[in-house]
Amino acid sequence: MAAGTADTQRGVHQRRRRHRNSEQRGGSECEAGNDSRSPREAGGGKGDEMPNSHAECDRIDDLKEKMERLKKDLVKQFEGRVEELVQMLVHETALSLPSRTNENGKGSENTNNRNLKRPPEEGKLFLPRKSLLDELFEMNHVRTIYHMFIAALILFIISTIVVDFIDEGRLVLEFDLLAYAFGQLPTAIFAWVCMFLSALMVPYCLLASWARAYHAARARRYLVSVIYGFILATYQVLGLGAGPVYVALWHKLPPASCFIVILEQVRLVMKVHSFVRENVPLIMKAKDAGKQAPVPTFGHYLYFLFCPTLIYRDTYPRTATIRWKYVAINFAQVLGCLFYAYYILVRLCIPLFHNFSKQPYSLRILVLCIFNCTLPGVLVLFLAFFAFLHCWLNAFAEMLRFADRMFYQDWWNSTSFANYYRSWNVVVHDWLYYYAYKDFRWLFRGRFRAAAMLSVFTLSAVVHEYVITICLGFFYPVLFCLFLGFGLAFNFLMHDKRTSPIWNVVMWTEMYIGLGIIVCLYSQEWYAQQQCPLRKHTFLDLITPRSWSCKQVL
């Protein structure tokens, strides 16, 4: 009797202990362990044997915990996607709504308060969002593609070392091409410092001075605006326009150093235009209302010159912290892309044109050259996109806590060239859309939509050809003709209604051919410029491609 009582008490204690463990684990104990009945009552089997062992219960608890963690992760991802979708829907809805007015019929926006957000219909709306590749790289399947490119880079390095060791009989680790391309780098940096300081001081001082003069000159505001506008245009043409070109041509900067100067020149010109274009209407509205001019602070303008956007705002969405490891990784990837491009040129392009010089120039050789240049062209396109639009811009955005990281969209999925032009480089597209396309439509009161699109394409083609002409040192409008001719035609033929996947294949095929033509023709002209000097220095000889008259292209 005493033994039975002791067994009963022991069973009660075991059940209470299991119940306490179940509560500590949040109720994750398996049901068999939580059964309040005695072993004999529960199982009716073999004596005191439990129906489920403690090891099985632990495995079930671990499985439930993993399922709970997976459930939380899925809910978190779903909530993030829903939040992004809601933000985009709010933005699109705001764009379609008219601006609100008060009872007197005047706008309810306080033009003197610069901290208030602009109405969505007046320009781009900045939202906190990550870059697309950062989101895609969180998936192992997509990150494997990134690993494949790294493996290809390693293969290029090994191939170059092995070939140099076989040809030279020793290990050659010279980077003559990089050393030449980035020659006279101190001169380029000095030119950039001068450009930046002038773009920092001159436009801001002119805007502040114009705001005061515009307020004081009640009857001659138009004349004051014309005078200050002429001064700003003169600075844009001579200071930011002719100055950097003179430095590049006078010092004969090599291609990479010249690209640094000219691309920064174009960037600063676009920044200055956006700063003036966004602030002048606000100042004029404030003057019409008899209020003090809402001139932005110097710190706002300084931040704008560095942040990765070409649309000026007084404030942008900001992140809470700076991830310096993320910054370092992005800059390291930029350096890796630079060496990647070097090995592509060494292994795929230079040998091609050395062999090309040993045969007579003919249409057959030209066609073979174009198709052989498609792979280097596509690889360089990927590297330029990844190095600049993803790594470089994200690194600066992280250092400046700039939260809107949509510098590009999924351009690789485009089924039309119209969508490709919009999603390839969102930073430049926004500037062209708001300051070229929309201003053109506003100037002509919403008419001539086709003419507005043509003006945007022409401006973009001229700027691209200008950069290449100055940096390479010769005029050969291949990109201009392809961009303004075939690019404009494909923009209307392959429009947004082309949604079938076959059009994505068509777009990539045309892009491969276009990149092959660009790399082949510009490379031929580069070697022709080096090997075939001019006999006459007339204007016609200067603008005529040298590869047309050169007997051999080395």
**pLDDT more than 70, % of the chain:** 73
Tokens of 394: 């994200």
How much is the pLDDT for 200? 92
Write the pLDDT tens digit of every residue in 416-469: 888 888 888 999 999 999 999 988 888 888 788 888 888 888 888 899 999 999
The backbone torsions φ and ψ at residue 553, rounded to the nearest 5 degrees and listed phi first, read -110, 110
Mean pLDDT across 6-16: 52
How much is the pLDDT for 401? 93
How much is the pLDDT for 304? 94
Mean pLDDT across 361-382: 85
How much is the pLDDT for 107? 36
How much is the pLDDT for 17? 56
**Distance between CA 368 and CA 366 in Å, rounded?**
5
**Distance between CA 56 and CA 37 in Å, rounded?**
19
Tokens of 268: 């600063």
Mean pLDDT across 278-307: 82
Give the alpha-carbon dihedral of 158, 160, 164, 170, to 10 degrees.
-40
- Please identify which residue in the block is written with the tokens 């392009």: 349
Q: Which residue has the higher pLDDT, 474 or 547?
A: 474
**Distance between CA 329 and CA 100 in Å, rounded?**
46
Mean pLDDT across 346-356: 75
**Distance between CA 228 and CA 286 in Å, rounded?**
18
Is residue 466 helix, strand or coil? helix
Mean pLDDT across 363-371: 83
* pLDDT score of 196 more than 60: yes
Helices (H), 252-404: 255-288, 298-306, 324-344, 350-356, 363-372, 374-384, 393-399
* pLDDT band at residue 301 under the 50/70/90 scheme: very high
* pLDDT band at residue 108 under the 50/70/90 scheme: very low
Tokens of 514: 């276009």
**Distance between CA 121 and CA 92 in Å, rounded?**
10
Helix H or strand E encompassing 207: helix 185-216
* pLDDT score of 30 more than 80: no
Tokens of 99: 């601006």
**Distance between CA 132 and CA 405 in Å, rounded?**
8
Residue among 429, 497, 419 nearest 457 (CA)? 429
How much is the pLDDT for 394? 94
The residues assigned a catalytic role are: 464
Q: What is the mean pLDDT of the chain?
A: 78
